[in-house]
């Protein structure tokens, strides 16, 4: 990476910059989500039009093609540093030979298959579910938790299967919160998504509908005014997206989030803590502060799962804890996401223990600056 780009990485430009198409593509095509989907990169040859893939990357694309799909949108490719294999965007989506050398990784570390009362519904809490409505994404992230199903033909959701899951939700009155995920629910056409939302809204006990989507990051042009005015009809709708690095925060991405926000949809962000990508205090703080500037609330940061082919992404939990400990007091409270470990029993907060416990009549706490405070504490 050149010194100028390195400088750029540590000092993001605000206002954010919009991406520009390569010379042979018109701006109209570039900003057309259909064009982006049709022109996705699927081979080392196509990738080499955007970056200089290393020989390892080229052979990994071939060797891993039967393991996990390799697809990238031109928009996301334009964010990659052509000369630096350690570019944070590049590492998220371009395969590497080390993926084959992960002895511990599992295909379904959260045992989601066993927590599935009906196909494509995952239930670990009494009141809410993750509903995997499709198996497609605009691109495929190398650390994806749903590697076992995304991009896999066998998991292609037919309407009949969606109907069966909807029937299960309708027959299960405890479910008040439905999280549409996948894959990516915004891969659906507006019409198909509206059919699904209409069906969910006809179930009186479903109070909340959430969409988990990475398209504001990987294909922001999909978030059109038409989509947002459709979504608005089915409130309350909440969206969580998935930015991992400040360089993903372009003007295009910010505009996509802004359209959702203007439609009254609260937008949150979930990241995965990834070694060498966002595991420094500096990068994480800049990501979260810039998100807040976009009015997107950092919600969760996930500990990377014990997932096949992802050992090189995992960060020790103690390091993650001290990273988020470091943000406390040094930035706006709502810029600090909760660091969580997902388990087969649900998400577990990995909070730094600021609350130390009782000593005599006091409760002892550690403040952000390290000061110890004793708060007189009534006995219950």
Residues that bind ligand SF4 (CB under 6 A): 137, 140-141, 144, 146, 150, 182-184, 214
Residue 354: strand, helix, or coil: coil
Strands 346-349 and 338-343, sheet pairing: antiparallel
Stretch that binds ligand PLP, among 8-16, 54-62, 128-136, 191-199 (CB under 6 A): 128-136
Is 249 within 8 Å of 278 (Cβ atoms)? no
DSSP single-letter state for residue 72: B
Q: Indicate which of ligand SF4, ligand PLP, none lies near residue 214 (CB less than 5 to 8 Å, by partner kind).
A: ligand SF4
Q: Indicate which of ligand PLP, ligand SF4, none lies near residue 188 (CB less than 5 to 8 Å, by partner kind).
A: none
Residues in binding contact with ligand PLP, number by CB under 6 A: 8
Smallest separation, CB 242 to ligand PLP (Å): 12
Gyration radius (Cα) of the chain, Å: 21
Residue of 77, 94, 130, 141 that binds ligand PLP (CB under 6 A): 130
Query: CA 222 to CA 294: how far, in whole Å?
Result: 18
Residue 76's closest CA among 206, 219, 210? Answer: 219
- Between 21 and 109, name the residue whose CB sits nearer to ligand PLP: 109
What residue number has its CB nearest to ligand PLP?
130
Smallest separation, CB 337 to ligand SF4 (Å): 17
Smallest separation, CB 184 to ligand SF4 (Å): 6
Smallest separation, CB 121 to ligand PLP (Å): 9
Query: CA 343 to CA 349: how far, in whole Å?
Result: 11
Smallest separation, CB 173 to ligand SF4 (Å): 29
Q: Indicate which of ligand PLP, ligand SF4, none lies near residue 179 (CB less than 5 to 8 Å, by partner kind).
A: ligand PLP
- Between 92 and 240, name the residue whose CB sits nearer to ligand PLP: 240
Q: How many other C-beta atoms can be found within 10 angstroms of the C-beta atom of residue 37?
A: 16
Give me the helices (H) in the chain, please: 3-10, 27-30, 33-38, 44-47, 55-63, 74-77, 88-93, 159-170, 190-201, 215-218, 225-231, 251-262, 281-293, 317-327
Helix axes 190-201, 159-170, angle to 10 degrees: 20
317 contacts: CB under 8 Å, gap ≥ 6: 303, 341, 350
Cα of 332 vs its chain's centroid, Å: 22
Q: Indicate which of ligand PLP, ligand SF4, none lies near residue 347 (CB less than 5 to 8 Å, by partner kind).
A: ligand PLP
Smallest separation, CB 128 to ligand PLP (Å): 5
Q: Does residue 128 belong to the site contacting ligand PLP (CB under 6 A)?
A: yes
Smallest separation, CB 7 to ligand SF4 (Å): 29
**C-alpha dist (Å) from residue 204 to 331, 361, 362:** 40, 49, 47
- Between 145 and 274, name the residue whose CB sits nearer to ligand PLP: 145
Q: Indicate which of ligand SF4, ligand PLP, none lies near residue 302 (CB less than 5 to 8 Å, by partner kind).
A: none
- Between 70 and 327, name the residue whose CB sits nearer to ligand SF4: 70
- Between 30 and 302, name the residue whose CB sits nearer to ligand SF4: 302
What residues make contact with ligand PLP under the rule CB under 6 A? Answer: 122, 124-125, 128-130, 179, 347
């Amino acid at each position: 990476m050149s010194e100028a780009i390195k400088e750029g990485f540590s000092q993001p430009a605000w206002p954010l910059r919009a991406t520009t198409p390569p010379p042979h593509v018109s701006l109209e095509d570039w900003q057309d989500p259909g064009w982006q989907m049709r022109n996705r990169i699927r081979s080392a040859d196509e990738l080499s039009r955007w970056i200089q893939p290393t020989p390892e990357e080229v052979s990994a694309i071939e060797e891993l093609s039967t393991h996990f799909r390799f697809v990238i949108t031109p928009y996301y490719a334009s964010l990659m540093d052509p000369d630096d294999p350690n570019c944070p965007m590049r590492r998220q989506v371009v395969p590497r030979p080390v993926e084959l050398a992960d002895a511990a990784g599992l295909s379904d570390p959260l045992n989601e298959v066993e927590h599935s009362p009906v196909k494509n519904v995952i239930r670990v809490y009494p009141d809410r579910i993750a509903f995997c409505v499709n198996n497609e994404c605009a691109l495929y992230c190398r650390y994806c938790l749903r590697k076992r199903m995304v991009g896999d033909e066998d998991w292609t959701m037919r309407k009949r299967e969606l109907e069966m899951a909807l029937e299960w939700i309708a027959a299960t009155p405890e479910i008040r919160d439905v999280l549409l995920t996948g894959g990516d629910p915004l891969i659906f056409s507006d019409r198909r998504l509206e059919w699904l939302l209409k069906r969910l809204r006809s179930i009186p006990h479903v109070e909340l509908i959430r969409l988990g989507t990475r398209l504001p990051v990987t294909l922001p042009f999909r978030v059109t005014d038409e989509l947002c005015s459709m979504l608005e009809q089915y409130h309350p709708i909440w969206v969580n997206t998935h930015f991992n690095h400040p360089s993903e925060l372009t003007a295009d991405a910010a505009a996509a989030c802004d359209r959702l926000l203007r439609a009254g949809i609260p937008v949150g962000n979930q990241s995965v803590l990834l070694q060498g990508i966002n595991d420094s205090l500096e990068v994480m703080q800049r990501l979260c502060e810039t998100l807040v500037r976009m009015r997107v609330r950092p919600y969760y940061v996930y500990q990377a799962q014990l997932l096949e082919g992802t050992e090189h992404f995992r960060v020790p939990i103690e390091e993650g804890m001290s990273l988020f400990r470091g943000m406390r007091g040094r930035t706006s409270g709502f810029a600090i996401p909760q660091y969580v470990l997902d388990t087969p029993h649900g998400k577990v907060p990995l909070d730094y223990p600021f609350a130390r416990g009782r000593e005599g009549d006091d409760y002892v706490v550690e403040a952000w600056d390290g000061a110890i405070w004793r708060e007189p504490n009534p006995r219950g």
